[in-house]
Amino acid sequence: MTVSSSPRADARRNRDLVLAAASTAFAERGLGVSLDEIAALAGVGAGTVHRHFPAKERLLEEVVAARFASFRAAAAGLTENKRPAEAFFGFLVAAITRIAVDRALAQVVEDGSGPWARVAEEVTSVVGDLLAAAQRAGGVRADISVAEVMSLLVGCVAMERRSAGTRMTVLVLDVLRNESNETRCAVCGEPIAAPATGRRPRYCGGACRQKAHRVRTSG
C-alpha cells in the first residue's frame, strides 16, 4: 500500500552491491579476481552476479564505465576553467593518478582490451574537448592529436604504476606544452599566452618590462 519496496528495488540494490564489490576487488587484486570472491565480498550468491552481469567481462565493463563516469564529472567542472591548459593538464594528471591506483583499470587501459573500448570513445571526446581548448589558448602544442594524448595517458599510467610519485608524469606531460607559445614572463614567471598575431611578448606587462630594462641598464 505504501511505496512498497518493489522487487526491482531489491534487484537494484543487489546490482549496486555487486558493482561496488567488484570495483574494490578489481582495484585491489586486478583482473584475476574470481567471481566467487566478488560475490562473497558483495554478500550475494554467485548466481546473482551472473543474473546482473551475464559474463565476467560485462561486469568489468560496468565497473570501468562507472570509474570513467566520475572522470567525466570532474572534467565538467574543468571546462569552465579560465586557463584551458591547466584544465587539460589537471584532468590528465588526475585521471592518470586515479587509473594507476586501480590494478584492473590500469590493466584494462594498458592493453586496450574490450572494456576499455566501450568507454574510450567518450573519454577521448572529453579529452578532445579539453585539448582543443588548450590548443586554442596556445597552452598546448598544436601538432598533437587527441589520439596521441590518449596514448600518452596510457604511458603515464604504466609509468606511475611502477614508480610512485607524479614527478615523471608531470615531466612527461610537459612535452605537450607549447613552449614557444605559452612561455612565462622572464621577470615574474606568470604564463603569457601567445598573441594571435605579431611578436610574442617577453614580459607579462609593462611593469615587468620596466623592471627588466632597469636591470639591463643599471650601472
Partner DNA sequence: CATGAATGAGCTTTCATTCAT
Partner DNA sequence: AATGAATGAAAGCTCATTCAT
Residues near DNA (CB under 7 A) are 5, 7-11, 13-15, 32-37, 43-52, 54-57
Q: 150 is in the binding site of which of DNA, a copy of itself, none (Cβ under 5 to 8 A by kind)?
A: a copy of itself
Residue with smaller CB distance to a copy of itself, 77 or 112: 112
Please tell me whether residue 152 binds a copy of itself under the rule CB under 8 A. yes
Residue with smaller CB distance to DNA, 35 or 66: 35
Q: 177 is in the binding site of which of a copy of itself, DNA, none (Cβ under 5 to 8 A by kind)?
A: none
Residue with smaller CB distance to a copy of itself, 78 or 88: 88
Q: How far apart are CA 124 and CA 31, in angstroms?
A: 23
Can you say how many angstroms the Cα of residue 115 is from the centroid of all Cα atoms in its chain?
Answer: 16
Please name which of 101, 5, 114, 11 lies closest in space to residue 65, comparing C-alpha atoms: 114
Residue with smaller CB distance to a copy of itself, 197 or 218: 218
Q: Which residue in the set 117, 151, 205, 207 belongs to the binding site for a copy of itself (CB under 8 A)?
A: 151
Residue 151 burial by CB count (10 A; 0-12/13-18/19+): exposed, middle or buried?
exposed
Q: 15 is in the binding site of which of DNA, a copy of itself, none (Cβ under 5 to 8 A by kind)?
A: DNA
CB of residue 37 to DNA, shortest distance in Å: 6
Q: How far apart are CA 134 and CA 161, in angstroms?
A: 27
Q: How far apart are CA 201 and CA 195, in angstroms?
A: 8
The DSSP result for 32-91, as a single string, is T--HHHHHHHHTS-HHHHHHHSSSHHHHHHHHHHHHHHHHHHHHHHHTT-SSHHHHHHHH
Residue with smaller CB distance to a copy of itself, 76 or 188: 188
Query: Where on the chain is the footprint of a copy of itself (CB under 8 A)?
Result: 30, 103, 107, 110-112, 147-148, 150-152, 154-163, 167-168, 171-172, 174-175, 186-187, 189, 202, 211, 214-219
